[in-house]
Amino acid sequence: GHARTLLHQAAARTAGEVAAVAGLLRAAGRTDEAGEILETVARTRPADAAADLARVRPELTDLLLAAASRISASCRRDVAAALARR
C-alpha cells in the first residue's frame, strides 16, 4: 500500500537520512517499519553502504543485522563483515 511505497522511497535516501528515519521509527516503537527500511537498504545497496547506516546511528546495528538475516545468511555475513571494518 501507500505506507510501503513511502518506506521504499525513504530507503532510497542518503545513509544519514535513512538512518534518521529508521532511528525515529525505532524510537517511536515502530520497529517493524524501521526494519523494513533497513531490509530494503540491505537488499538494494552493497554491504558497506548498508553498514553506513549503523555507523551514523549505532543503535540501528541489531535491527540492520536482523534485516540482513531476513534476506539471506550471506547478506547478514556481508553486512556483519562490513560493520567489523568500521
What total number of domains does the chain contain? Answer: 1
pLDDT of residue 41: 93
Task: Write the pLDDT tens digit of every residue in 9-66.
Answer: 777 789 899 999 999 999 999 999 999 999 999 999 999 999 999 999 999 999 999 9
Burial 48-85 (b: 16+ CB within 10 A, else e): eebbbbbbbbeebbebbbebbbeeeeebbebbbebbee
Expressed as residue numbers, the domain containing 55 is 2-84
Q: State which H helix or E strand residue 20 sits in.
A: helix 15-27
Tally of helices (H runs) and strands (E runs) in the chain: 6, 0
pLDDT of residue 38: 94
Q: Which of the four pLDDT bands, split at 50, 70 and 90, describes residue 2?
A: low
